[in-house]
Amino acid sequence: MHGGTIVDATLIDAPTSTKNADKKRDPEMHQTKKGNQWYFGEKIHMGTDAGTGYIHTMEVTAANAADVTQAHKLIRDDDEVVYGDAAYSGIEKRDEIKSDIHLSGIDYRVNLQKPYRNNKWEAGPGTYWFARLEYQKSRVRCKVEYGFYIIKRIFGYRKVRYRGLSKNRTHACMLGACANLYMLAQSGGYGAR
């Protein structure tokens, strides 16, 4: 796996009910707002190989952690390019990236907010070129979404099963490893015959 890294994150719900022995919600889970909806739970940050689509790194945090704060943990030592969505804008300006020689030399290809969709720009050749560049970045970046699809839809990990982040981190990492095996079997790779 040497195709660069794609980074992204997804939310996993946690029970908001207080009908338990402690009469409290899980103290390690937090709430965050995405769009116009509030979520309570954890966030899975995932690093995926841009060439193969296999998951190589996972990190689990509370839902209120920003995506860009965990990006440096998802990048491998031999990566030369990193793809991300608009949540990773300004990643090259962060202190943990600037202070590391390897991380500061990486080419960060981050999808930007689309001002041409909100009528902030007039349509023209420059707008079309910008849209084409963003489309090419999105074509590579979409591979990370398939890993989330396997974990959340096929394996059914839409809601946490345990209290605390450490147990849920172990559960998520096991599901990530199983997702890699699932993708390998689908591709007809070694041992899938």
pLDDT at 181: 94
Q: State the chain's mean pLDDT as an integer.
A: 87
- Residue 192 within any structural domain of the chain: no
- Residue 159 within any structural domain of the chain: yes
- Residue 125 within any structural domain of the chain: yes
Higher pLDDT, 80 or 22: 80
What is the C-alpha to C-alpha distance for residues 150 and 11, in angstroms, rounded to an integer? 14
Total number of domains constituting the chain: 1
- Residue 157 within any structural domain of the chain: yes
Greatest extent of the chain over all pairs of C-alpha atoms, in Å: 63
User: What's the domain range around 150?
Assistant: 5-187
Comparing C-alpha atoms, which of 60, 93, 94 is closest to residue 74? 60
pLDDT range class, residue 1, cuts 50, 70, 90: low
Higher pLDDT, 42 or 135: 42
* Residue 90 scores a pLDDT above 60: yes
> For residue range 145-177, what is the model confidence (pLDDT) as tens digits?
999 999 999 999 999 988 889 999 999 999 999
Of 68-77, 105-114, 167-176, which gets the smallest average pLDDT?
Answer: 105-114
- Beta carbons of 173 and 165 less than 8 angstroms apart: no
- The secondary structure of 65-118, three-state, reads CCHHHHHHHHCCCCCCEEEECHHHCCHHHCHHHHCCHHHHCCEEEECCCCCCCC
- Residue 87 within any structural domain of the chain: yes
Tell me the three state secondary structure of residue 156: coil
Distance, first Cα to last Cα, the chain: 22
- Residue 153 within any structural domain of the chain: yes
- Residue 154 within any structural domain of the chain: yes
- Residue 193 within any structural domain of the chain: no
